[in-house]
Amino acid sequence: MTNTVTEASKHTDGDVLTKYRDEFVVPTFRQMKASAVSAELADTPCTYLCGNSLGLLSKRSKKLVEEELEVWATRAVEGHFDHPLGRSWMYIADTVHPHFAKIVGAHESEVACMGTLTANLHLMLNAFYKPTAGRYKILCEAKAFPSDQYAFATQVSSRGYDPDDAIIALSPRAGEHTLRTEDIIGTIEREGAQIALVLFSGVQFYTGQWFAMKDITAAAKAKNCVCGWDLAHAVGNVPLSLHDWDVDFAVWCTYKYLNSGPGGIGGLFVHEKWADLPVLEAGWWGHDPATRFDMPPTFKAIRGAQGFQQSNPSVLAVVSLLGSLQIFADAGGMPAIRARSERLTGHLEALIKRSNFYVPPEKSLGAVEGVKVTIITPANPAERGAQLSLVFLPTGRGVMPRVLKGLEVRGVVGDSRKPDVIRLAPAPLYNTFEDVERAVAVLDEVLAEVEKEGIPLHA
């Protein structure tokens, strides 16, 4: 333990963001039902490395939500226009828009705090996917998040196309876990005349690969393809410059790295060059606020992304997000947060690679002796965010669920993706280097236990 603490101290010297951990509520081992943790440690913070799935509650978010509940109780409907704390519900989303703009690299008029990711994705597809007889295909990754796949399939089907023909879903090369940028761009160059829309994840949910967004967008535009992005795992995780990259549109959720809470409100981006794009599914909250409450019969859209708003947003959801975004701003924004993220994830990677159970990804495709772990997330920090995706070997033999259970009872919280992946993601606003070191020490302990117990021939 002395060596571990000493090693962690090397990384925390001069680490000015460490103080922001106190801005968050970290569940205890007892609360996370970590039954293998000693009684004297049960009420101390667990090792939470699951911010890629659900970020932790910020204390500011809790306070803001409690304040809005009080305003609801004491001011009722008047809170829309006469708010005792200066956050009138009429303009509550505007408290978030400046933060969104900075985090995704946009102008305020290009972003909207609204809806949920898949609903926003459908709005954008209806606005931007305009297939013709010759140009009707959508290019995406083969293992896109299922909700995206469902959206693509229903969108092309509703326009009379066969998804098997209209969707080009790229897979990694044989023996590889991630897509090569040259293969994506090569496909755009070869088939661009038939591609109406290029739409990838900013950061791939399964592998943790951060796609070369700037280069892919440029390649798409060179072939006159519309280019959009699903930023669920990218927003608040990696630096983005959507306006400067000439991205047409993007959508995201906020409950992962932005810590808005389960099912939190979503966001979208529409480049300013599309500010007057017709809104096909209009709602009253996208109408010009100057006359919104006059209830005119004819829709007059707000120019830009906010014209796509439909209903008034949940105030509780917006301020839950706002509390976390205030911390992002106080911490120095994405440059400072990303710098710490690279150090945390780099330290996690280095420690895993030191493990006796580690094998390089290229050696994981053949037979291995005993229980092993590899990392399928790119080793280049410029090609990943906070998340590392670990594959447990031998695959298909039930190793991963046993490792996950071993981590859980010891209070290391990650998440799994079947059949063989566990994702660990140190969040730079609240995780520590000690969290990373404890996680890897526990992982080694669990792997040794699983190996000792033996591996069945079949899962």
Per-residue DSSP letters for 348-377? HHHHHHHSTTB--GGGSSS--SSSEEEE-S
**14 token code pair:** 């001069």
**207 token code pair:** 């592998």
Task: Output b/e per residue, 314-339; b: 16+ Cβ within 10 A.
Answer: ebbbbbbbbbbbbbbeebeebeebbe
Query: Identity (one letter) of the amino acid at 257?
Result: Y
Question: Edge-to-edge, what's the strand order for the sheet holding 415-417?
Answer: 372-375, 388-393, 421-424, 415-417
Per-residue DSSP letters for 13-25? TT-GGGGGGGGEE
**C-beta of residue 371 within 8 angstroms of C-beta of residue 390:** no
Bridge partners of residue 58, in order along the sequence: 24
Which residues touch 446 (CB under 8 Å, ≥6 apart)? 402, 403, 406, 407, 410
Pairing status of strand 415-417 against strand 421-424: antiparallel
> What ranges make up the beta strands (E) of 115-205?
137-141, 167-170, 195-201
Bridge partners of residue 375, in order along the sequence: 390
Handedness of CA 184, 188, 189, 191 (dihedral sign): positive
Bridge partners of residue 201, in order along the sequence: 230
CA 120, CA 309: separation in Å to the nearest integer? 9
**302 token code pair:** 């707000």
CA 388, CA 379: separation in Å to the nearest integer? 9
- For the chain, the first-to-last Cα distance in angstroms comes to 35
This prediction's pTM: 0.96
Query: CA distances (Å), 112 to each of 51, 94, 212, 304, in order?
Result: 23, 9, 24, 9
CB atoms within 10 A of CB 126: 15
CA 235, CA 252: separation in Å to the nearest integer? 7
**C-beta of residue 279 within 8 angstroms of C-beta of residue 301:** yes
Task: Output b/e per residue, 235-255; b: 16+ Cβ within 10 A.
Answer: bbbbbbebbebebbbbbbbbb
DSSP character for 38? -
**C-beta of residue 30 within 8 angstroms of C-beta of residue 43:** yes
Handedness of CA 295, 298, 304, 310 (dihedral sign): positive
Crossing angle of helices 333-354/315-330, nearest 10°? Answer: 80
**194 token code pair:** 């038939």
Query: CA distances (Å), 102 to each of 96, 144, 240, in order?
Result: 10, 26, 9
Q: Coil, strand, or helix at residue 275? A: coil
DSSP character for 31? T
Tens-level pLDDT at each residue, the chain (459 residues):
444 445 665 666 568 999 999 999 999 999 999 999 999 999 999 999 999 999 999 999 999 999 999 999 999 999 999 999 999 999 999 999 999 999 999 999 999 999 999 999 999 999 999 999 999 999 999 999 999 999 999 999 999 999 999 999 999 999 999 999 999 999 999 999 999 999 999 999 999 999 999 999 999 999 999 999 999 999 999 999 999 999 999 999 999 999 999 999 999 999 999 999 999 999 999 999 999 999 999 999 999 999 999 999 999 999 999 999 999 999 999 999 999 999 999 999 999 999 999 999 987 777 788 999 999 999 999 999 999 999 999 998 999 999 999 999 999 999 999 999 999 999 999 999 999 999 999 999 999 999 999 987 766
Angle at 171 between CA 268 and CA 338, to 5 degrees: 45
